[in-house]
Chain A
Amino acid sequence: MKHIAIIGNGISGVTAARHIRKLSDHKITLISAETEHFFSRTALMYVYMGHMKPEHIKPYEDHFWAKNRIDLKMGFVSNVDASNKKLLFDSGEEMHFDDLIIASGSKPNKFGWKGQDLDGVQGLYSWQDLELMEENSVNCDRAVIVGGGLIGIEMAEMFLSRGIKVTFLVREKRFWGSVLPKEEGELVSRHILSHHVDLRFETELDEIIPDENGRVKAIRTKDGEEIMCQFVGLTAGVGPNTSFLKDGSVALNRGVLVNDFLETNIPNVYSIGDCAEFHQHPTGRRNMEQVWYTGKMMGETVAQTICGNKTAYKPGVWFNSAKFFDIEYQTYGWVWAEPKENEAILYWEHTDGKKCLKLVYDMTDNSFLAANVFGIRLRHKVLDYWIKHKTKIKVVLQNLEDANFEPEFYENSFPEIKKQFQSQIP
């Protein structure tokens, strides 16, 4: 029986712990400086909005950990002494391990803006960020959010639920422009505007201006405009949380460098989730993917290796999902913001402008590549099958309704979509 220490009790670390327990009797310790129990990070917004209480976003009941003999350790690891297989805590404690999984997640990016460390300026990633946001919301009339991505729009929705006005600075020409193609980006942008968010495209933060107490009182954009605000949300992405690995024995680039087996340069030390960076991603995607689902998959994979069944990380067809205010979004395969040369696009949009479906296929062999969908629910298994098996677009269209995952009695747009798309393919 070996001792497996896991730094980080987010989805990656917890999934690894659960699967190690399923496969073995090893001693498992889950270490966190954030919260005693695992919670769903993606649900933080709902606590702020009053949809749920903190206990509701715990995926497992509190007795789950003891029952599965997963030890929980609250503490901040200040260094990893890899050669002696020891963790050093900032309290001075030490902990021996046989295997170590680094799953320490991310922290919000800060790009050296002037005033980025003022009171009232923060990102949203951790439980502590949420508590801080609660404090910073007191007497807040207007918040400025910097960075048009997933966390930014969540923050906007959170503030609106509290009656706080929002100015949203987006560097690109449309919301999430680095990821969403034009039509989809514009659809979401329209929806954000319909919620009375003061949405500014092609606008960048220049400086955050303090009041006499060191609190934010306004921001200045690069165009020189000053906007009064009591809160600034920094939501321009996240980066790996690896500052505690300071002695340099574990090889880092931006994140903890790992091979296909999620192994670092040091034997028996692994890294998974947001903080892991592949030398080269096994499927050629980006070397860091800060996504719930990939963290979960890495956790499942590393558990196999640690329990003696050496397994390479092999994520299947990419998928992701989000919700932008009232509009749900799912994506399958990889839809590029700008189509590649071989890609043909089929795009349908509902007359209400809140639903759309985009299918991407390869012009050279007519195989189905990817889909973006807004306001309609698609069946993951079906999309995954079509993409994985390079199904011909014609066949996909013929069977399009197999992918319908909409609730019963919903307006069925599939016949219309099918008709439009079939007239557009060769």
Chain B
Amino acid sequence: MNQIDKDITMVSGPPKDINITQKIATFIGVAGLLILVLAAFNVNFPNKGLWLAIALASIAGGIILFSKGAYGNKQEGIKNDGVWFKGISSRGFVAWVAGIAMTSFYVVLYFFEGLLGANPGAANTGVISLFDPLSRMLSGNDASQWFVYGTLYTVAIVAFGIKFMWKYRNNKYERLRTFSVMFFQTGFAFIIPELMARLNSDTFKLPYTDIKSIWPLNYGNFDQYRVDEYINAGNVGLFLLIFGVASILIVTPIMTYKFGKRWYCSWVCGCGGLAETAGDPFRQLSDKSTAAWKVERWVIHSVVVFSVVMTTAVISTYLGYDSEKYWFTKDTFLLCVVSILTLVIGLLFAFRRDELMKDAKIGAIGYFAIVLATIGLHYSSADSIFLIETGSLRQSYGFLIGAVFSGVIGTGFYPIFGNRVWCRFGCPMAAIMGMQQRFFSKFRITTNGGQCISCGNCSTYCEMGIDVKAYAQKGQNIVRSSCVGCGVCSAVCPRGVLKLENGEDSGDSRYDSDPITFGNDGVKLNV
């Protein structure tokens, strides 16, 4: 027997096992969760602030210690060993348990908040009351179930964000991007709106505003009560209202033109933030089939049409019956909507006709006609509402898209369908930016000549279900509306083939491909 390298700390057994550090970390994290669960079952903790701090610190600390156990002793590089052997990341038993637990949490959160301890008109009980001290510290008010959710959401993004940065510590793009989503979640989505609530008094009230949450993702931003509050809150309110409109009509198009939709989806957005951090272990579960892609195109564009019709209906309704309150009339508003939609569709067909697939053409024209017809119906009949009563339209959108799709399915089923189901199939904001990214943007993922070996890592780890290698092996740039620019395909590529770029051009050369392997000088094709 020869002398053997005794130092095998790097090698911790088959990759589906967890090491001792991770076991301790799991214990700490679960203990933290247990405090919240006990509170939910009305265990009355004496010093709520302290217990909440212990719970949150244990959860975050557990996650971070777990990451140390997973990556601390390893060299920089790709960390996907055993992903498909571990139950949690390959739809095993644990994954189903986690999925069902998270889904149940969302159902309770959206529809049975009483179970969490929300008591209309009375003091909080249960787990919500545990969060009262923190809420009072920030906004001065008692907590709500949304405050509980927002806090846990932020803790998840920060703690799992640290895990993600550790995992990808060799990749500065990933580190910066993750820091960015942690920053926007903590600052813009969590702390600032809570502090802003302190400004409210009997005479002054701002709606709860996360200014980075842009319509139509923030589908209720232009609901009448919010618009009224904005208008009544003087310059600050007016600024927020104008910023809300400008975000989608000015900021989004400019940023998406320059950088692709990633500026929002994987650098700013809260849904994206959770998907990229807590959801990272599930990115490989997205469906890559062309069939899924087809479903995706129809579903997400139907949602965007639904959201446009719903919002138009809501706004035009209150502009209609409260016409003396607003300088903007219902007619001008509808005219604006029709103009913008016509402009978008017109640009699309004028400049990018050749890039549209058949179903895209049918979809675009069909939906455009439907929207115009609905608006026309509404426009012609003075005080009748859209075909369906506006209020119920708004309600069904909130229920189906806002709660069920984005929350229950989108996040609850991370361990089953992958981490970007909502972003891929449901988010209307992603659809709008995606359309622009596909047709009017400088962003693309460039393929490096002939270096692709079709290994499939890029496609497997694409959370959006894009079959990246299908392009890479043809030497074709990846210009896809769904790409959120997370950069993981480029990171996991073992041959240095993929690069996210904002090129000089936004024109046809973005779509160029090499029909023949780059460097094969004998064969010329005129394709």
Q: A304: CB under 8 A from chain B?
A: yes
Asked whether, in the complex, the Cβ of A381 is within 8 Å of the Cβ of B518, the reply is yes
Q: Please choose the segment from A89-97, A115-123, A322-330 that sits at the chain B interface, where 4 or more of its residues have CB less than 8 A away.
A: A322-330
- In contact, A195 and B75 (Cβ under 8 angstroms): yes
- Provide the residues of chain B in CB contact with A51, threshold 8 Å: 78, 80-81, 83-84, 457, 460, 492
From A195, A313, A384, contact of B10 by CB (8 A): A195
Tell me whether A40 and B453 are in contact (CB under 8 A).
yes
A309 CA / B470 CA spacing, docked (Å): 27
Q: A40-B455, A319-B449, A380-B450 are in contact. Are A227 and B494 (CB under 8 A)?
A: no
CA distance A126 to B324 in the complex (A): 77
Query: In this assembly, does B487 line the interface, its C-beta being within 8 Å of a C-beta of chain A?
Result: yes
B173 and A409 form a contact (CB under 8 A): yes
A225 and B460 contact, CB distance less than 8 A = no
Kindly provide the distance from the CB of A208 to the nearest chain B CB, expressed in whole angstroms. Answer: 16
Q: Which of B4, B82, B518 contacts A384 (CB 8 A)?
A: B518
Q: Is the C-beta of B46 less than 8 angstroms from some C-beta in chain A?
A: no
Q: Is the CB of B453 within 8 A of A42?
A: yes
**With an 8 A cutoff between CB atoms, is B495 at the interface?**
yes
CB pair B460–A56 under 8 Å, yes or no, is yes
State how many angstroms separate the Cβ of A283 from the closest Cβ of chain B.
Answer: 9
- Report yes or no: B500 in contact with A161, Cβ–Cβ below 8 A: no
CA distance A196 to B76 in the complex (A): 15
Q: How far, in whole Å, are A11 and B453 apart by their CA atoms in the complex?
A: 9
Query: Residues of A contacting B499 with CB < 8 Å?
Result: 377, 405-408
B84 contacts A52, C-beta separation under 8 Å = yes
What number of B residues sit within 8 Å (CB to CB) of A?
A: 65
How far does the alpha carbon of A198 sit from the alpha carbon of B473 in the complex, in Å? Answer: 36
Please, how many angstroms separate the alpha-carbon atoms of A321 and B2 in the complex? 35
Cβ–Cβ contact B77 & A297, under 8 A: no
A419 located at the interface, meaning its Cβ lies under 8 Å from any Cβ of chain B in the complex:
no
Contact at B456–A198, with CB atoms within 8 Å?
A: no
Complex interface: chain B residues within 8 A of A165 (CB): 4-5, 8, 11
B354 in contact (CB, < 8 A): no
From known contacts A407-B171, A407-B173, infer whether A380 and B7 are also in contact, taking CB-CB under 8 Å. no
Q: Determine the distance from Cα of A349 to Cα of B4 in the docked complex, in whole angstroms.
A: 31
Q: Is the CB of B523 within 8 A of A304?
A: yes
Closest to A319 in B: B519
Q: Does A228 contact B (CB under 8 A)?
A: yes
Q: Is B448 an interface residue (CB 8 A)?
A: yes
B451 proximity list for chain A (CB < 8 A): 293, 319, 321, 330, 380
B residues lining the A interface (CB < 8 Å):
1-2, 4-5, 7-8, 10-16, 75-78, 80-86, 90, 170-173, 176, 289-290, 446, 448-451, 453-457, 459-460, 469-470, 473, 487, 490-492, 494-496, 499-501, 516-523
Known contacts A50-B84, A195-B75, A311-B523; 20 further A-B pairs (Cβ under 8 A): A40-B456, A49-B82, A59-B454, A165-B5, A225-B2, A297-B522, A300-B517, A314-B520, A314-B522, A316-B520, A321-B451, A326-B76, A328-B495, A377-B496, A380-B519, A384-B518, A405-B496, A407-B490, A410-B172, A411-B172
